[in-house]
Chain A
Amino acid sequence: MSWPLWEVFVRPGRGLAHTHVGSLHAPDAEMALRHARDLYTRRGEGVSIWVVPAAAITASSPDEKDPFFAPAADKIYRHPTFYPVPEGVEQL
């Protein structure tokens, strides 16, 4: 009999986002949290834990990496370096 898989995210400190640290098996969310505490934060590695059923995650496919992320690459005007700054202008 196997327990479902959970993905574990830990917030390492205040002001930081939760980061994926690994996964574990647990029968329910409450036990997943307790196991995550024992498994991934034995030395004060976090101030907050999320556990998410692995089956609930939808991921982009690595096969379509190029077309999927292409819209990000062809809009160079999203970066500040796209714009020329006239000499003498500071703090822009």
Chain B
Amino acid sequence: MDSAEQEAFEATIAADSTIEPRDWMPEEYRRTLIRQIAQHAHSEIIGMQPEGNWIGRAPTLARKAILLAKVQDEAGHGLYLYAAAETLGVSRDDLERRLLDGRQKYSSIFNYPTLTWADVGAIGWLVDGAAIVNQVPLCRCSYGPYARAMIRICKEESFHQRQGFDILYTLTRGTDEQRAMAQDAVDRWWYPSLAMFGPPDAISTHTERSMAWRIKRFSNDHLRQKFVDMIVPQAEVLGVRLPDPALRFNAKTGHWEFTPPDYDELFAVISGRGPANRQRLTHRRTAYEEGAWVREAAVAYAAKAAARAASQSSGTAGPPRAPAVPDEVA
């Protein structure tokens, strides 16, 4: 390691500037980012499943169109993030394989099932809400491509949270049955959403170094508190009860006190023992395998079109050709 390079890296971090792809960086900084960005990308991709489950059963055409747009955004988020990870010298194919064979993780939250339509509302409101709290500070992360991807993502996330809130708001203004359905969804998604912020600071392994490198700006517990403070007043407007008897406002600190999530459950779900882990990965593997012929056909078509174009330009000049567009996507 060249100490001048190390110094330049540290000076850039200290100046609150960004590290860019071709800059020198410590191997551990690179590895940490690859792991974090890949895990984040995988979460966006796997995260399409719980909500995708309801696209065909949305109660109205408008709700269906909105949910479709939301899930499409999540696909986009995954792709922005894979692209950011690739600037660190890994390939998307390789990351995808690491997800499929279980070497890389994704957020524990997506291993819970979506049992009713109200779950789609609870996910938008709580899960996307927690994602926003987690992600806004990442817009100022020290790695340029990651920070830029996060800016795009955060712009799109606020629509996600609002559409979820809107679903619940409509339900809580409906029949007794609909209100009960909304409450049941909130009861089931509250603690898993709190767990999205990760283990408590006292046992969080990478926090300190990530904060020194400005990959992370705030600790898990700080962000979890911020989330609770944001959600409690919104729950009041919705007319749903958060399932925590210990929830109370502390006038001295200005924060809401709450019962932390069950971290043993979090670790169990992360290590593969959640209610839907098997289903999520199996679905993803099947989609990957069944899509193989499309990827191969597109490459074969591109090669054929390129060969045709080459032989045409070397032969006698014919009439100008329109750009090649495969019929099935035209």
Total contacts A to B, CB within 8 angstroms?
A: 58
In the complex, which residues 1-59 of chain A have their Cβ closer than 8 Å to any Cβ of chain B? 1-3, 5, 22-25, 27-31, 34, 38-39, 42-43, 59
Minimum CB–CB distance for A74 against chain B, Å = 21
User: B132 near A: Cβ within 8 Å?
Assistant: no
Could you tell me the distance between the alpha carbons of A2 and B83 in the complex, rounded to whole angstroms? Answer: 14
Q: Which of A2, A25, A39, A62 touches B76 (beta carbons < 8 Å)?
A: A39
Q: Would you call A24 and B325 a contact (CB within 8 A)?
A: no
Contacts of A39 in B (CB 8 A): 76, 79-80
Contacts of A1 in B (CB 8 A): 292, 295-296, 299
Contacts of B27 in A (CB 8 A): none
Q: Which residue of A lies closest to B87 (CB)?
A: A23
Q: Would you call A28 and B306 a contact (CB within 8 A)?
A: yes
Q: Which residue of A lies closest to B5 (CB)?
A: A63
User: B86 near A: Cβ within 8 Å?
Assistant: yes
Q: Looking at chain A's contact residues, is the secondary structure mostly helix, strand, loop, or mixed?
A: mixed
Minimum CB–CB distance for A12 against chain B, Å = 13
Minimum CB–CB distance for B234 against chain A, Å = 25
Could you tell me the distance between the alpha carbons of A22 and B93 in the complex, rounded to whole angstroms? Answer: 18
Q: How many residues of A sit at the interface, in one of the four size bands?
A: 20 to 34
Contacts of B73 in A (CB 8 A): 42
Contacts of B299 in A (CB 8 A): 1, 3, 27
User: B22 near A: Cβ within 8 Å?
Assistant: yes
Q: Which of A24, A30, A62 touches B22 (beta carbons < 8 Å)?
A: A62
**A2-B92, A22-B149, A62-B23 known; A28-B305 Cβ under 8 A:** yes
Minimum CB–CB distance for A49 against chain B, Å = 14
User: B301 near A: Cβ within 8 Å?
Assistant: yes
Contacts of B295 in A (CB 8 A): 1, 3, 27
User: A61 near B: Cβ within 8 Å?
Assistant: yes
User: B20 near A: Cβ within 8 Å?
Assistant: yes
Contacts of B152 in A (CB 8 A): 22
Could you tell me the distance between the alpha carbons of A80 and B41 in the complex, rounded to whole angstroms? Answer: 48
Contacts of A23 in B (CB 8 A): 83, 86
User: B233 near A: Cβ within 8 Å?
Assistant: no
Could you tell me the distance between the alpha carbons of A59 and B20 in the complex, rounded to whole angstroms? Answer: 13
Minimum CB–CB distance for B206 against chain A, Å = 26
**A34-B329, A39-B76, A42-B72 known; A27-B298 Cβ under 8 A:** yes
User: B59 near A: Cβ within 8 Å?
Assistant: no
Minimum CB–CB distance for A67 against chain B, Å = 14
Q: Which of A2, A29, A63 touches B91 (beta carbons < 8 Å)?
A: A2
Contacts of A29 in B (CB 8 A): 323
Q: Which residue of B lies closest to A63 (CB)?
A: B24
Q: Which residue of A lies closest to B306 (CB)?
A: A28
> Which residues of chain B have a CB within 8 Å of any CB of chain A?
20, 22-24, 72-73, 76, 79-80, 83-84, 86, 91-93, 148-149, 152, 156, 292, 295-296, 298-299, 301-302, 305-306, 323-326, 329
> Which residues of chain A have a CB within 8 Å of any CB of chain B?
1-3, 5, 22-25, 27-31, 34, 38-39, 42-43, 59, 61-63
Apart from the given pairs A22-B148, A59-B22, 18 other A-B contacts in the complex at a CB distance below 8 Å = A2-B92, A3-B295, A3-B299, A22-B152, A25-B92, A27-B299, A27-B302, A28-B302, A28-B305, A28-B306, A29-B323, A30-B326, A39-B76, A39-B79, A39-B80, A42-B72, A42-B73, A43-B156
